[in-house]
């Protein structure tokens, strides 16, 4: 499949995650690669699984440029697919497991997937797709003995049958063009149809190397898969962990008690998750009296972690690295790199620094905060603008959507839609999404700032703040609050608490109590809260 030795210049080799995996397989063949339940695989065995899946895909008619879809939780087959699909020069489409049948059907059809491997617990999302499957992919039933799911609900072979007897292709760098697609990651589609974000071999390889460096992944690291593999290809950590020769500990679903058990049992050194996942751990009964030593390194993103949450993680023995990025930037683009002396600050000051989004990855480099004219805003930590990026880990574009691609890349930069400030030291700090910022009587209110004030109250577990219509001011803040189990606090008490920490015009004018809607990665879905408040009314956002 690849060019014979000597066919390419000796000083040129396409960048690809496959090259990283090929090296690890050669250097650490006997080292534990994957742990799932009671089973363990060496890198040699994992390489064989990858090669057999690749051979099965070729046998099924998958050709370079074709798309292969997976609808599955964090199981070993999906990890293997992150290499096998690339090995045959196809593109992986890992689908969000919480999407509706209509959304799953749309993604399968829009991507034109030739093969779709589906976990039986999720098969109804495919079977009930309201518009059918025009792409007519070969459906493969992915059994999972760990979950006790062995049925075959879809009309197609089991995964074991699909790969049985397939030739085992050698795991090596078969990439012929580093700008070839590795994968298509579909956005949430909160403002319309999901958009397919295209990753390349070059970008995936670069970001994987960035993850290795920034998060200190090495041979003896043990990575626990709490982050869904479908989310930005697990932030490129499938390739990064493998490149380091570290161990993948697979976890079918986020279970705080199971996470707290596995960390000491498997010697887990790293895991990733949204702030909500970290909060679940802190609140778990099993966490009482626990302090991990040595500390576990955790990358968190999706929303800025509050200083309150960071302090709780420190008490648990969790060292949080705050990262920031989007699906369009292969996941993380920045890291809040700690400066010398930050560790010696008092907990409150240290947490305030760590809540920043920080500086670009080594492979990202380009990051600005700009006004509407694309001029840099003053680096004063106060003037807000839009965060824009460019570089190796910015997407190739949106699949079959040149207009959306052109809009996202206007002015030669990727427009994040996030509003932030630039500090004098060159660190950025998010203040809001453009659609989330509250403009009340001409004054901008950061919902993040209000949320961080609310979670300082000892009874508040988590919260979300959105704009709601107001006849006089146009719009004002409203908070949606989830209290800690067994705690009680009134609306006025929380409003008064905010007024001790914020200017009064920034404080919520109303508070609702209850569970918060979330994505599969634990991100609070503010748009759902906002939509219910603005039903039947039009909201105009400056800058959009």
Say how far apart CA 41 and CA 304 lie, in whole Å.
36
Is 541 inside a domain boundary?
no
Look at residue 252 in the predicted model and tell me its pLDDT: 95
pLDDT category, 265, cuts 50, 70, 90? very high
Q: Are 461 and 387 found together in one domain?
A: no
Contacts of 368 (CB under 8 A, 6+ apart): 376, 387, 388, 389, 413, 422
Say how far apart CA 265 and CA 246 lie, in whole Å.
16
SS3 call for 363: coil
Is 224 inside a domain boundary?
no
Q: Are 413 and 463 found together in one domain?
A: no
What average pLDDT does the structure give for the chain? 92
Look at residue 189 in the predicted model and tell me its pLDDT: 56
Section 44-67 average pLDDT: 98
Which of 198, 230, 256 is at the close of a domain? 198
Q: Flag whether pLDDT at 542 surpasses 50.
A: no
Q: Are 134 and 40 found together in one domain?
A: yes
DSSP secondary structure, 376-443, as one string: BPPSSS---EEEEEESTTS-SEETT-HHHHHHHTGGGSEEEEEEEEE-TTS-EEEEEETTT-EEETTE
Q: Are 291 and 425 found together in one domain?
A: yes
Is 256 inside a domain boundary?
no
Cis geometry, peptide bond prior to residue 294 (ω within 30 degrees of 0): yes
Q: Flag whether pLDDT at 75 surpasses 70.
A: yes
Q: Are 426 and 347 found together in one domain?
A: yes
DSSP secondary structure, 60-112, as one string: TT--TT-EEEEE-SS-HHHHHHHHHHHHTT-EEEEPPTT--HHHHHHHHHHHT
Contacts of 46 (CB under 8 A, 6+ apart): 33, 34, 80
pLDDT category, 68, cuts 50, 70, 90? very high
Is 239 inside a domain boundary?
no
Of all residues in the chain, what percent carry a pLDDT higher than 70?
A: 95
Look at residue 448 in the predicted model and tell me its pLDDT: 86
Is 483 inside a domain boundary?
yes
pLDDT tens digits for range 203-231: 999 999 999 999 999 999 999 999 999 99
Report the 10 Å Cβ neighbour count for 316: 18
Is 245 inside a domain boundary?
no
Q: Are 398 and 293 found together in one domain?
A: yes
Q: Flag whether pLDDT at 194 surpasses 60.
A: yes
**Could you give the C-alpha distances from 92 to 251, 322, 327, in angstroms and in order?**
20, 27, 15
pLDDT tens digits for range 359-407: 999 999 899 999 999 999 999 999 999 999 999 999 999 999 999 999 9
**Total number of domains constituting the chain:** 3
Tell how far CA 509 is from the center of its chain. Answer: 33
Look at residue 1 in the predicted model and tell me its pLDDT: 44
Phi, psi for 128 (deg, rounded to 5): -100, 10
Domain containing residue 109: CATH number = 3.40.50.12780
Let me know: does 284 contact 256? Beta carbons within 8 Å: yes
Model confidence, pTM: 0.86
Domain containing 63 equals 36-198
Which of 171, 198, 225 is at the close of a domain? 198
Is 312 inside a domain boundary?
yes
SS3 call for 181: strand
Q: Are 308 and 390 found together in one domain?
A: yes
Q: Are 62 and 176 found together in one domain?
A: yes
Q: Are 406 and 453 found together in one domain?
A: no
Q: Are 407 and 318 found together in one domain?
A: yes
Question: Could you give the dihedral angle defined by the CA atoms of residues 418, 423, 279 and 319, in that order, rounded to the nearest 10 degrees?
Answer: 130
Say how far apart CA 31 and CA 43 lie, in whole Å.
6
pLDDT tens digits for range 88-128: 999 999 999 988 898 899 999 999 999 999 999 999 999 99
Q: Are 94 and 187 found together in one domain?
A: yes
pLDDT tens digits for range 433-479: 778 889 887 677 889 889 989 999 999 999 999 999 988 788 999 99
Which of 379, 402, 433 is at the close of a domain? 433
Strands (E), 286-374: 296-300, 318-326, 331-335, 359-360, 366-370
**Could you give the C-alpha distances from 349 to 58, 306, 379, 448, 450, in angstroms and in order?**
56, 12, 20, 17, 18
Phi, psi for 252 (deg, rounded to 5): -65, -35
Look at residue 276 in the predicted model and tell me its pLDDT: 81
CA-angle at 227, arms to 329 and 205, nearest 5° = 40
Section 412-432 average pLDDT: 93
Is 309 inside a domain boundary?
yes
Q: Are 478 and 410 found together in one domain?
A: no
Domain containing residue 503: CATH number = 3.30.300.30
């Amino acid at each position: 499949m690849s060019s014979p030795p000597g066919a390419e210049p000796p000083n040129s080799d396409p960048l690809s995650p496959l090259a990283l995996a090929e090296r690890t397989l050669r250097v650490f063949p006997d080292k534990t690669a994957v742990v799932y339940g009671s089973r363990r695989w060496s890198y040699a065995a994992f390489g064989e699984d990858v090669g057999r899946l690749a051979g099965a895909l070729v046998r099924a008619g998958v050709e370079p440029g074709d798309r292969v879809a997976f609808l599955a939780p964090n199981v070993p087959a999906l990890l293997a697919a992150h290499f096998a699909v690339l090995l045959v020069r196809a593109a992986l489409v890992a689908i969000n497991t919480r999407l509706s049948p209509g959304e799953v059907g749309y993604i399968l059809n829009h991507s034109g997937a030739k093969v779709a491997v589906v976990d039986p617990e999720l098969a109804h999302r495919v079977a009930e797709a309201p518009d059918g499957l025009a792409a007519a992919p070969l459906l493969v039933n992915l059994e999972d003995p760990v979950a006790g799911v062995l049925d075959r609900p879809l009309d197609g072979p089991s995964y074991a049958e699909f790969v049985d007897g397939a030739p085992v292709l050698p795991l090596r760098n078969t990439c012929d063009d580093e700008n070839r697609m590795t994968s298509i990651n579909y956005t949430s589609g909160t403002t319309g149809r999901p958009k397919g974000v295209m990753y390349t071999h070059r970008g995936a390889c670069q970001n994987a190397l960035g993850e290795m460096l920034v998060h200190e992944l090495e041979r003896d690291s043990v990575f626990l898969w709490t982050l869904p593999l479908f989310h930005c290809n697990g932030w490129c950590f499938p390739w990064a962990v493998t490149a380091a020769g570290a161990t993948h500990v697979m976890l079918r679903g986020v279970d705080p008690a199971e996470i707290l058990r596995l960390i000491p049992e498997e010697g887990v050194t790293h895991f990733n998750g949204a702030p909500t996942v970290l909060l679940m751990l802190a609140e778990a009964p099993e966490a009482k009296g626990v302090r991990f030593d040595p500390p576990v390194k955790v990358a968190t993103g999706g929303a800025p972690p509050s200083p309150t949450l960071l302090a709780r993680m420190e008490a648990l023995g969790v060292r949080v690295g705050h990262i920031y990025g989007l699906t369009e930037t292969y996941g993380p683009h920045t890291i809040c790199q700690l400066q010398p002396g930050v560790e010696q600050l008092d907990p409150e000051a240290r947490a305030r620094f760590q809540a920043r989004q920080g500086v670009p990855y080594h492979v990202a480099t380009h990051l600005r905060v700009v006004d509407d004219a694309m001029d840099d805003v003053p680096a004063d930590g106060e003037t807000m603008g839009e965060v824009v990026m460019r570089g190796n880990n910015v997407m190739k574009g949106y699949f079959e959507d040149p207009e959306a691609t052109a809009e996202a890349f206007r002015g030669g930069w990727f427009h994040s839609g996030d509003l932030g400030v630039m500090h004098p030291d060159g660190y950025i700090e998010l203040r809001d999404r453009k659609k989330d910022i509250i403009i009340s009587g001409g004054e901008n209110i950061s919902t993040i700032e209000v949320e961080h004030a609310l979670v300082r109250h000892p009874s508040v577990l988590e919260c979300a703040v959105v704009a709601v219509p107001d006849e006089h001011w146009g719009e004002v803040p409203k908070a949606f609050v989830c209290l800690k189990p067994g705690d009680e606090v009134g609306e006025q008490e929380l409003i008064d608490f905010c007024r001790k920490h914020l200017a009064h015009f920034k404080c919520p004018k109303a508070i609702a109590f209850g569970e918060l809607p979330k994505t599969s990665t634990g991100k609070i879905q503010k748009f759902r809260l906002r939509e219910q408040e603005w039903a039947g009314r039009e909201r105009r956002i400056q800058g959009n």
